[in-house]
Amino acid sequence: MEGFELCFPQLNSSCRKPKRSHSDTVLIYIGLCFISLLTVTLNLLVIISISHFRQLHTPTNLFLLSLAVSDFLVGLVVMPVEILLTTTCWILGDLMCVLYYILPGILITAPIGNIVLISVDRYVAICYPLHYPTKITLKVATICILLCWVYSCLYIIIIMNDNLKQPGRDISCYGECVVNITGSADIVVSFIIPITVIIVLYMRVFVVALSQARAIRSHIANVSLKHSKTVQVKKSEIKAARTLGVLVVVYLMCYCPYYCVSLSGQNLLLGSSIESLMIFLIYFNSCLNPIIYALYYPWFKKTIRLIVKFQILQPGSCEAQIL
């Protein structure tokens, strides 16, 4: 142990403190703090935009709002603690370690539910456009979002039950915070099933969207009424589906490494160095989502300008024409 500083010098089973040069520590802090601040700022802009402007109160945007809330909490609460743990030891005890990982677990599980809801929303909007206004209403969207968050909370508590009963059962030394929740059931429920649903729905969405695009290019005028009802989708709906498709692809790129390692049969300890890298990639997705909105949604750029100029403080600003 010579040359290393212990987390608890009075204990023989103490962990060693993370040892890095001063320059490396400063670079890590600056980089992670910048990403955390950017995540909080961008997602807060999304939350304010959708909440304030009534024209943006649509079912699709409600799902985006729910996603932005989880991303905002990741940047505000989870990332700062992860930053501290990169250079310090865990001193709050085994039970607090388990309780701490419940929040990231919820914030990792809830987005996949929101992505599924977004996929269902786009599927109904493009494949059944005439039924969309009656089937997907603000009330239905709100209920679905609440159920998604309740499910995420209950699911994480259930899979963390053994760790809650026996806190610290996976630690190898005092001063680390690791929790083992990886299992075949978790992979199937939280990854394979929702990803399968998302892929199937989007394959159907883009087949219909492609048919619509071909119909527009070919200037087909003499189509049957039935066919017209099926493929007559607004260009804005197709663009929204394309944008949310990008959102799904980026999500998969950030989440797949973690679950692919799990699928290989290896159990990842929450808090280990490999897991920390993969989890941070998942957290980084929270920063990328609002950037996608800025690139593909003109209304987000308009609302940012109004928010930065404090024009939202003016009377009647919520009625502004954004779209």
d(CA 110, CA 70): 7
User: In terms of DSSP H, where are the helices of 180-317?
Assistant: 184-187, 193-218, 225-231, 235-263, 273-296, 298-308
The token pair that represents 209 in the structure block:
């969207």
Q: What is the pLDDT of residues 259-269, one digit of tens each?
A: 777 666 555 55
**Residue 224 — pLDDT band, cuts 50, 70, 90?**
very low
What mean pLDDT comes out for the span 99-112? Answer: 84
3-state DSSP helix/strand/coil percent for the chain, to nearest 5? 75, 0, 25
Cut 0.75: pTM above it: yes
pLDDT, the chain, mean: 79
Residue linked to tokens 């600003």: 317
Please name each of the domains of the chain with its CATH number: 22-319 (1.20.1070.10)
pLDDT at 228 over 60: no
**Residue 148 — pLDDT band, cuts 50, 70, 90?**
very high
H-run or E-run covering 137: none
User: pLDDT higher for 235 or 46?
Assistant: 46
Angle between helices 94-127 and 235-263 (to 10 degrees): 140
H-run or E-run covering 146: helix 138-159
